[in-house]
Structure 1
Amino acid sequence: MASSSSFSPRNWVYDVFPSFSGEDVRITFLSHFLKELNRKLIISFKDNEIERSQSLDPELKQAIRTSRIAVVMFSEKYASSSWCLDELLEIVKCKEELGQLVVPVFYGLDPSHVRKQTGKFGEAFAKTCQRRTEDETKLWRQSLTDVANLLGYHSLNWPNEAKMIEAIANDILAKLNLAPSKDFEDFVGMEDHIAKMSVLLDLESEEVRMVGIWGTSGVGKTSIARVLYNQLSRQFQGSVFIDRAFVSKSLEIYKSANPDDYNMKLHLLRNFLSEILDKKDIRIDCLGEVEERLKHRKVLILIDDLDDQVVLDTLVGQTQWFGSGSRIILVTKDKHFLRAHRIDLIYEVCLPSQELALQMFCRYTFRQNFPPDGLMELASEVALCAGNLPLGLKVLGSYLRGREKEDLIDILSRLRNGLDGKIEKTLRVSYDGLNDKKDKAIFRHIACLFNGKNVNEIKLLLAHSGLDVNIGLKNLVDKSLIHVREDIVEMHSLLQEMGKEIVRAQSDEPGEREFLMDSKDICDLLEDNTKFTLRSGMNEG
C-alpha cells in the first residue's frame, strides 16, 4: 500500500469525492455539505452532469482516483444502487493503492448495519446482490465492512446537521493540511474572510480572474493573503507569492535603473517565471514570452502590497496571458491602484466587531479566547485603545503578555496617551504614501478637527483653503485612510492619533504648530499671548 505522501499535489484535481445515494441525501445533507466545502475553498467533485448507467463511467473512475479524500455517505438506500457499491469498490482500491483518505458518514442509520449488512440497509443490499455474481457480492461485502470500520461520523450522535457538517469540513481541512498555520491562529475571524473571498474567486469558473484585497494598514490583508495562498496553491499548475522583498531581490542589481528600464523588466520576468515554473536559469529575450510560457497553464499569482504599476503591467498585464482557471490576487491599501488595472472584483477588509477584536486581543495576550477572571473590563478597554485594528491588537497583546494585573492597569494609562511605536510606524506608511502635499494636509485637518463631521461641512469650511478638497477626500478614501458612510467622514482612532502626533512633532513650541488640540497647550498659549498683550500695552502707555 502506498503512503499518502506518494500523492503529488500537482496530480490532484479534487480535494473531496462524495459518494452517496442521491435519493436520500442530494437535496438535504449533501447540498449543505458541498456549500460548506465551498466556503472553506475545498474543491469537491460534482456529478450533476454525469448520466449514471449500469457500470462506472471512466470519467467517474478518474474523478475518484484524482481526489485526495473520499467522503462516503452511507444512508438506507445507498446499498440499493449497484453504482454506489461499485464506487465504493473503486474508493477502497484507491485507498489501498494510492493512500487515498476515506471518511465515512452514517446518515440516519447505525454503523453496525453497514458493517454487517443488516436492518433496512441489509435488506436493500440483498436485493441488489440478487442481480450479481457471488464474487461481486463478496467484494461489495468486504468493502462495506472495511469502510464502516473506519473512524467516521454518525448523524444520530449530533444535535443537528449543521454542527456535524462543520465538524466534517474542519476535519477535511486538517487532513488536507489546509487549516491556517500557527502563524495565523490568533487571527480570529479568518474563516469568514476566506468564505467571502471564495465567492469572488469562484474557483469553479474557467475564466481568468483578477481579484483585489483592499483595506487600511494593519487590518490583516497580508494575513488573509497568506492563508489563501497556503490553501489554494496546490490546486494550480504553478504559483508564486510576490511581495516587496521578492521584487527588491529580483532587481537589486538595478537599484539605480529607471523603473521602466527594459532590461530591468526582463530580469524581473526571469525570476517571476523561474519561480512560477519551478525552473532555474530561465532564458527569455522579450517581455512577450510570459504569455508564451503561461497561456496554457493554470496559475495562481498573489501580489502583496506592491503598488507599482510598471511591475504589475510587466508581470500580469493581461488576463489572456494565463491559462483557463488562473487566479491573480492583488493586495493593496490603494483602491485606485486596482481601478487602474481594471479590477472590479474587490474584497474590502473591514475592522472586526468589538466581540471579535476582544477575542483576538485575548488570543495574543492570554493564549485563550477570553480574558481571565477579573480582567474582562480591563481587556475590553485595551482592545478599545487599539481601535479594534488587528495590528494594534497584536502589538498591544504581545506587549502585555505575561504581565500582572497591576502592571496592566499602569500600562493602560500610558496607552491612552499615545500610539505604540510599531503601530505608528506601520500606519505611517499609508500617510507617507500620499504623493500630494494637499492630501496630507487634508488628512491632518480631519485627524485634528473634522473626524466624524459631515462631508459637505468639511468642504464648506475648507472651500477657500486651496487644498482641492473634493479630489483630496477621494484620494484618502482610496488609500483607506478614511471612510465615508452616510456622508460622515470616519477616520480610525489609531490613524487619528497618528495624525495628531504628526502635528505635535512639527515643533516643540505649541504656537508654531499647525493645530492645537491639547487643552493645556491652548491655555498656555492664550496665557502667553495675554501676558504679551498686557506688557505691550504697558510699554505703549
Structure 2
Amino acid sequence: MTLMGSRTTRRWNYHVFLSFRGEDTRRNFTDHLYAALQRKGIVTFRDDKKLERGQVISNELMKAIEESLFAIVILSQDYASSSWCLDELQKIVESNQNLTVFPVFFEVDPSDVRQQKGIIGKAFEKHEGKFPDCRVTGWRRALTQVANFAGWDTRNKREAEIVENIAKTIWTKVRVKLPSNFAHLVGLQPKVDTLIPLLKIELNHTCFIGIWGMGGIGKTTLARVVYEAIRNKFETSCFLANVREESERNGLVYLQKKLLSSLLLGNIEINDSYDGVEAIRNFSCNKKVLIVLDDVSHISQLQSLVGDKDWFGHGSKILVTTRDIHLLTAHDQFEKYEMMMLGRDESLNLLCRHAFKRNYPQQGYFELSKKVVDYAGGLPLALQVLGSFLCKRSIPEWRDTLNKLKQNLHKDIFKILRISYDGLDDEEFKAIFLDIACFFNREEKVEVTKYWKIVVFIQ
C-alpha cells in the first residue's frame, strides 16, 4: 500500500510508526493502541519481536521510519535502558522535518525524560563508559527534544480513554495529510455545500436527513463525501454501505451487528432484530454518532437500524440514501434532500474526464460528445460508464455506439436502472406505463415502437 501526501511528492507506506520498549508495553498499552489505530484504518508499523535481538537498529526499521507520516514514541520506564530504542528515537527526531512526532509518557514524569533524571538518569549512568560520548550525547539530545513535543501523559488516567483519544487525534491529522479521493468529482461541491448546513452540525440536537433520487444519480457519492468531511466531529461514526443488498443477502440482524461493531460498541450478542434494536438504543443513546445508511429500500431497515431520534446522543446525525421518497415520508423523522441530475456543462465535463482524461472533447469529437450527453440525460452513472467505454475509440466507433444505444441500454447502466424497475409493483408499473403512453398520442406507430423497445427489453 502506497499513500501520497497532499502537500508534497514524498511517498508513504505507513501512517504511523510505533516506537516502544517491548518488554514494558508490548502486551498491554502498545497492543491496545495498535488495535485502536487499526480499527480506524490507520496503517501502523509495529516492529516484530525478533527485531529486538540485534544490537544495531536494522535497515528495515530505518526505512519504516522514513516512510511514515507520524511517529508515536511510548516513553516507558525502561525505554532509555535500551540502546536499540534510543537509536530508533534519534533517527525519528532527525527525521522530524518529514515526520510529526507525538510522545506518550507511559508512567514516567515528562520532566524526568526532558532532563534525564530519576529512572531515566540511572539508565544513562549505565550507558556512559559503555558507549562513545558522542552517541550518548545524541541520545540525550533526542530525549530532551521529544519531551518538548505535545503528547500524552498516562499517569492517573484511564488507559482505554487515552488510547481512544490518541487514535482519534492521529486519525484527524492523518486525514488532512492525505489526498482527497473526491477532488476529481464533477458537480458535487455545490451539493455538499447545500447538504452540510442542513445537518446543523453546530447544534446539539439529533438530525435525520434522507437523500433521495433515481439509481446512478450520485446519492452514495454525495453521502460518502459529506461523511468523510464531518466524521471527525463525532465520538464515533459508521458508513453502512449497500443496505438493500446486505439485508436481502444476510438479514437485518447482520446489519445491526455490523452497525454496533462499526460504532465501536463491541461484539454484542444479538438473537433477533428486536435484540438488535434494544442494543443499538441502549449502547448509543449517550453517544454523539454519525451514521450513514446507504441504499435503503424498506421501512424495516430504518426501523431496525435508526428507529428514533432518542436512540442516539445529543448532536447525532443520521444520513440515509434511498430511491424511494415514500420511505422517508413513512418514517416521519427525515428532512428530505432531492438529488438532482447534472446540468449540460457538468455532464459534458464528466463525460470528457472519462472519455478523454481532460475537461473538454478532443478535436473532431465535440458533436458526438454532445449527443452522448443528450443520451445520458444528466445521469452521472451513464456518463461515467459511456465515457469509460468510449475512451480511446475512433470516431466511427463512437457513431456505431450511439446507434446501438438507440436500440439497447449499455449493460452496466441497465443493471442499475433495473433495480428501480424491479421494485415496482404491478399497480405502480401500470400507472407509470399509462402516464408515459399519454405522451405519444397522435404519434406515428413506427416512432412509438422505437421508443418502447427499451421497455420490452427490460421486461
Q: How does 1:94-113 map to 2 (within 5 A)?
A: none
Q: Is contact 1:447-1:499 (8 Å) kept?
A: no
TM-score with structure 1 length normalisation?
Answer: 0.48
Aligned mates of 2:334, 2:311 — CA distance in 1: 19
Instruction: Please list the CA deviations of residues 418-474 of structure 1 after superposition, one character each: whole Å capped at 9, or x if unmatched.
Output: 321221221121121112x121012223334427x9xxxxxxxxxxxxxxxxxxxxx
Q: What are the superposed Cα offsets for residues 482-502 of structure 1, whole Å, 9 maximum, x if unpaired?
A: xxxxxxxxxxxxxx9986422
Name the CA shift for 1:246/1:214 in 2 (closer, same or farther; >3 Å).
closer
The residue aligned with 2:433 is 444
Larger Rg: 1
1:301 aligned counterpart, secondary structure: strand
**What TM-score results when the alignment is normalised by the length of structure 2?**
0.56
Change (3 A) 1:271 1:421: closer
Distance in 1 of aligned mates of 2:16 and 2:359? 34
CA root-mean-square deviation: 3.5
Deviation of 1:289 (Å)? 2.8
Of 385, 388, 410, which aligns to 2:378?
Answer: 388
Q: Tell me whether 1:368 sits opposite 2:358 in the alignment.
A: yes
**Aligned 8 A contact 1:215 1:221 in 2:** yes
Q: What CA deviation, in whole Å up to 9, does each residue of 1:232-266 have, x standing for no partner?
A: 222222211223369738973x6xxxxxxxxx64x
Q: Aligned-pair distance for 1:208? A: 0.5
Equivalences for residues 491-530 of structure 1 within 5 A: 500-503=453-456
Q: CA deviation at 1:185?
A: 5.1
User: 1:497 & 1:201 partners in 2: Cα distance?
Assistant: 45
- The alpha-carbon deviation at position 315 of structure 1 amounts to 1.4
Mapped to 1, the partners of 2:283 and 2:198 lie a distance apart of 26
Kindly indicate whether the alpha-carbon contact (under 8 Å) linking 1:428 and 1:498 is maintained by their aligned counterparts in 2: no
One-letter amino acid of the structure 2 residue matched with residue 198 of structure 1: I
- The change in CA–CA distance for 1:410 and 1:270 in structure 2 (over 3 A counts) is closer
Partner of 1:269: 256
**1:243 aligned residue (203, 224, 241):** 241
Give the equivalent residue in structure 1 for 2:291. 301
Supply the distance in 2 between the matched residues of 1:289 and 1:283 (Cα, whole angstroms). 9
SS, match of residue 296 in structure 2: coil
Q: CA deviation at 1:412?
A: 2.4
Q: Counterpart of 1:335 in structure 2: which amino acid?
A: I
Distance 1:398 1:502 in 2: 25
Tell me how far apart the structure 1 counterparts of residues 177 and 282 of structure 2 sit (CA, whole Å): 33
2:290 counterpart SS class: strand
Matched with 2:369 is 379
Deviations 1:6-43 (A, max 9, x none): 999x99xxxxxxxxxxxxxxxxxxxxxxxxxxxxxxxx
Match of 1:227 among 205, 225, 228: 225
Go from structure 1 to structure 2 and tell me whether the alpha carbon gap of 1:179 and 1:428 turns closer, same or farther (over 3 Å shift).
same
Paired residue for 2:421?
431
In structure 1, what residue type is equivalent to 2:456?
Answer: V
The amino acid of 1:388's aligned partner reads G
Aligned partner letter, 2:383: L
Q: Percent identity?
A: 31
- State the secondary structure of the residue aligned to 1:277: coil
Change (3 A) 1:174 1:374: farther
Q: C-alpha distance in 2, partners of 1:234/1:499?
A: 49
For 2:56, the equivalent position in structure 1 comes to none
Q: Indicate the residue corresponding to 2:404 in structure 1.
A: 414
Letter in 2 for 1:230: E
Q: Distance in 1 between matches of 2:174 and 2:391?
A: 29
1:210 CA displacement: 0.4
- Equivalent residue, structure 2, for 1:17: none
Which stretches in structure 1 are left out of the alignment for 5+ residues? 12-94, 100-171, 255-263, 454-495, 507-541
2:193 alignment partner in structure 1: 195
Matched with 1:329 is 319
Asked if the contact 1:448/1:500 (under 8 Å) is kept, the reply is no
Q: Check conservation: 2:247, 2:255, Cα contact below 8 A.
A: no
1:212–1:332 Cα contact (<8 Å) kept? yes
- How many pairs does the alignment contain? 290
Q: Secondary structure at the match of 2:327?
A: helix
The one-letter code of the counterpart of 1:395 is V
Kept in 2, the 8 Å contact 1:208–1:324? The answer is yes
User: What is the rounded CA distance, in whole Å, between the counterparts of 1:368 and 1:329 in structure 2?
Assistant: 33
Q: Do residues 283 (structure 1) and 283 (structure 2) align?
A: no
1 CA distance for matches of 2:398 and 2:185?
22
1:176 partner amino acid: V
Describe the shift of the 1:293–1:340 C-alpha distance in structure 2 as closer, same or farther (beyond 3 A): same
Relative to 1, partners in 2 of residues 1:504 and 1:243: Cα closer, same or farther, differing over 3 Å?
closer
Query: Could you list the per-position Cα deviations for residues 253-290 of structure 1 after superposition, in whole angstroms to 9, with x for gaps in the alignment?
Result: x6xxxxxxxxx64x5433321221163x3235743232
| 1-structure distance, mates of 2:270, 2:368 | 60
8 Å CA contact retained: 1:299, 1:322:
yes
Counterpart secondary structure, 2:208: strand
Match of 1:401 in 2: 391
- Structure 2 counterpart of 1:269, which letter? Q
Matched, 1:313 2:303: yes
Unaligned runs of 5+ in 2: 1-13, 19-32, 38-98, 104-171, 442-448
